[in-house]
Structure formats: C-alpha cells, structure tokens
Amino acid sequence: MDDRRSKMSDAFRAFMSEAPQHAQAWMAAAQALDVASALEEKTKKLAYLAVLAALRLESGVPFHVREAKQAGASREEIISAILVGLPAAGHCVIQVLPTAIAAYDAD
C-alpha cells in the first residue's frame, strides 16, 4: 500500500477496494475538478479543510491536513481554515479541530 493510501480513512479505503469502478469514476471527477480550479494549491487544500469541518466529515481531516501541510500550510493556517466556517456553520466546526491539530503535529 502506498503512503498516500495508508493515510486515507478506513471508509475511503473500503470504498476504493469494494467498489473500484465507482472509486475510479469518483477520482476522475475529483481530479478534473482539481485541474479546473483557479485557486493555487495551498488555498485549495485549506478551503477543502473548511468544507470538511463544516460538513462534520472528520474522518477525512487527517489525510487532507497532510495534503495542506505538504502544500505549505502552517499549523496556524490549518486552524484558521477549520474555524473559518464558524460564523456560518456554527460551533460544529470545532469538532474536527483536535483531529486536525493531531494530524499536523504527527508529521
């Protein structure tokens, strides 16, 4: 298993192994959307973390924190990205904060 796949959530790894055609279609769409974005890489990664926090999708946070960190995001930027949705989404975004900080500090 490559390093990137080993850092995926159990749910996403199960999706990839148990429904490979669906996963392949999903990944192709995600990659095409990534290419179409006008945002630079670090900004895309931070924005994605903000969306994960607002949607309470904690299982994907460690993987995407590592991606943001590799794109040059600082610990403070990760925290700010998680909390940027606080006014709109409410305090639910703070639920992913410990997971995000732990993932940032682990690498």
Query: What are the average pLDDT values for consecutive 10-residue runs of the chain, which has 107 residues?
Result: 69 92 95 95 97 94 96 98 95 94 93
Each domain of the chain, given as residue ranges in start order, spans 1-36, 39-107
Q: Residue 77's pLDDT is what?
A: 98
Would you state the pLDDT for residue 7?
Answer: 74
CB-CB contact of 74 with 65 (8 Å): no
Residue 16 has a CB neighbour count (10 Å cut-off) of 16
pLDDT at 4: 65
CATH of 39-107, one of 1.10.510.10, 1.10.3720.10, 3.40.50.620, 1.20.1290.10: 1.20.1290.10
Task: Tell me what percent of the chain is helix, strand and coil, each rounded to the nearest 5.
Answer: 80, 0, 20
Specify the pLDDT at position 1: 45
